[in-house]
Chains A and B, each alone.
Chain A
Amino acid sequence: AQSVAQPEDQVNVAEGNPLTVKCTYSVSGNPYLFWYVQYPNRGLQFLLKYITGDNLVKGSYGFEAEFNKSQTSFHLKKPSALVSDSALYFCAVRDNTDSWGKLQFGAGTQVVVTP
């Protein structure tokens, strides 16, 4: 069975400071990992993915994530947070043998960036 843990319900950061949102996962096979962001009353926007290759993945809007197989983690990072980054962030995982659309999501982490 697949599972995703986002240990922090909320992350508070001042604008201009680095932002980190944590994610750990569990899958039986090789993981495909994703980060999505959700703004109020909106759908999910794709940020980045890890399929294979380099452990550091770069995505949209200056976000990046580091895949760590030994720690089964896929933390999302941004070097300098903006107030507009305030949103709900979801980490998701899929086993590479599972069907394309079946993602297991974490509970989400609310990011609050203060001016």
Chain B
Amino acid sequence: KAGVTQTPRYLIKTRGQQVTLSCSPISGHRSVSWYQQTPGQGLQFLFEYFSETQRNKGNFPGRFSGRQFSNSRSEMNVSTLELGDSALYLCASSFDRFEAFFGQGTRLTVV
């Protein structure tokens, strides 16, 4: 069974640009969550989608947005990139309330 797939693995963007990250959950998982990991702030919850609806949102500015498609694949978008957005972005998928499985992450570097 394939795991959670995140693309791309690495990304370099310039300040002011926007970026879109993709996450394909494990087959049959309808919940997809996104996290930002930085050395200073650790792992922080961004948002969760379930059946194409945003179910929960963390404390991030509106520049961070996401969506989920009918096949449960999810994308997150960051507009007007800042240097502080450099981080490892992790996606997790869940089939039920008892486990969340994480992808390998996308390493975003903003220069």
Identify the A interface with B (CB < 8 A).
32, 34, 36, 41-46, 49, 51, 90, 96, 98-108
Contacts A43-B6, A46-B100, A100-B48 known; 16 new A-B pairs at CB < 8 A = A32-B97, A34-B99, A41-B107, A44-B90, A99-B31, A99-B55, A100-B50, A100-B96, A101-B33, A101-B45, A101-B48, A101-B56, A101-B100, A102-B45, A105-B43, A108-B42
A107 to B37, CA, bound (A): 10
Which of A32, A44, A98, A99 is B102 in contact with, Cβ under 8 Å?
A44
Query: Which residues of the partner chain B approach A106 to less than 8 Å between Cβ atoms?
Result: 42
Report B92-111 residues with CB < 8 Å from chain A CB.
Answer: 92, 94, 96-105, 107
Identify the B interface with A (CB < 8 A).
4, 6, 31-33, 35, 42-43, 45, 48, 50, 55-56, 58, 90, 92, 94, 96-105, 107
Query: Which residues of the partner chain A approach B56 to less than 8 Å between Cβ atoms?
Result: 98-99, 101-102
Distance between B82 CB and nearest chain A CB, rounded to angstroms: 23
User: What are 26 of the A-B contact pairs (CB < 8 Å)?
Assistant: A42-B104, A43-B6, A44-B90, A44-B102, A46-B101, A46-B102, A51-B98, A98-B56, A99-B31, A99-B48, A99-B55, A100-B94, A100-B96, A101-B31, A101-B33, A101-B50, A101-B56, A101-B100, A102-B45, A102-B48, A103-B45, A103-B100, A105-B35, A105-B43, A106-B42, A108-B42
Distance between B102 CB and nearest chain A CB, rounded to angstroms: 4
Query: Which residues of the partner chain B approach A36 to less than 8 Å between Cβ atoms?
Result: 102
Distance between B50 CB and nearest chain A CB, rounded to angstroms: 7
Query: Which residues of the partner chain A approach B55 to less than 8 Å between Cβ atoms?
Result: 99, 101
Task: Please report the number of residue pairs spanning A and B whose Cβ atoms sit closer than 8 angstroms.
Answer: 70
A45 to B104, CA, bound (A): 9
Which of A49, A98, A99 is B98 in contact with, Cβ under 8 Å?
A49
Given contacts A100-B50, A101-B33, contact A43 B103 (CB under 8 A): yes
A-B pairs, top 4 by smallest CB distance, nearest first, are A101-B33, A101-B48, A105-B43, A44-B102
